């Protein structure tokens, strides 16, 4: 019964999370990973890289025409990012709730953006999280090669809500 309900509610499993350059600079990588681990997500891919403008324009393809895009490029290419794929129940919605609203000034306490940063005149908001299942799929394919994503058996399967 429970499973039937789960699949009716648009179940999706994987999302892409990135610690942005400000998060890496501020040594927040471990804290962010820990939040996802504690929530019960399973890490299936992880790497650190210097983002190219080309990758960024494909990642933010719907934002390239926005007035803030040049600043976003400057921000996102200012240093390395740590990008991850996490697997779990309703991964996209759950992780968006954990990350908080785009503008840290609006982000609730308890979220990554609400706990680690204030609004400082421009949107340096520590972390990226895919905002739809389709977006997650596109981003995962963009950032990772298939063999970089590992399927591994979780020994706590029955208590971490993995399906």
**Annotated binding-site ranges for ATP:** 20, 68, 96, 102, 113, 125
Point out which span in 1-9, 85-93, 124-132, 150-158 binds ligand UDP (CB under 6 A).
124-132
Q: How far is CA 9 from CA 41, 45, 135, in A?
A: 19, 25, 18
Among 5, 122, 128, 157, the active-site one is 128
C-beta of 23: minimal distance to ligand UDP in Å?
A: 11
Please tell me whether residue 68 binds ligand UDP under the rule CB under 6 A.
yes
Please tell me whether residue 59 binds ligand UDP under the rule CB under 6 A.
no
Q: Is 128 annotated in the active site? A: yes
DSSP class per residue in 98-143 = HH--SSTTTPPTTSHHHHH----SS---SEEE--SHHHHHHHHHHH
Residues belonging to the active site: 128
């Amino acid at each position: 019964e429970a499973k039937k309900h789960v699949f009716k509610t648009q179940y999706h499993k994987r999302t892409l999370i990135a610690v942005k350059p400000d998060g890496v600079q501020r040594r927040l990588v471990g804290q962010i990973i820990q939040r996802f681990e504690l929530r019960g997500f399973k890490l299936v891919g992880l790497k650190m890289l210097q983002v190219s403008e080309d990758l960024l324009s494909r990642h933010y393809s719907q934002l390239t025409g926005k007035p803030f895009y040049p600043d976003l490029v400057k921000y996102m290419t200012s240093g390395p990012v740590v990008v991850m794929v996490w697997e779990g129940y309703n991964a996209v919605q759950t992780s968006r709730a954990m990350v908080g609203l785009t503008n840290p000034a609006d982000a609730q306490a308890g979220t990554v953006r609400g706990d680690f940063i204030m609004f400082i005149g421009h949107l340096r908001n520590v972390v990226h999280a895919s905002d739809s299942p389709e977006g997650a799929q596109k981003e995962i394919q963009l950032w990772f090669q298939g063999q970089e994503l590992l399927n591994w058996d979780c020994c706590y399967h029955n208590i971490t809500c993995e399906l």
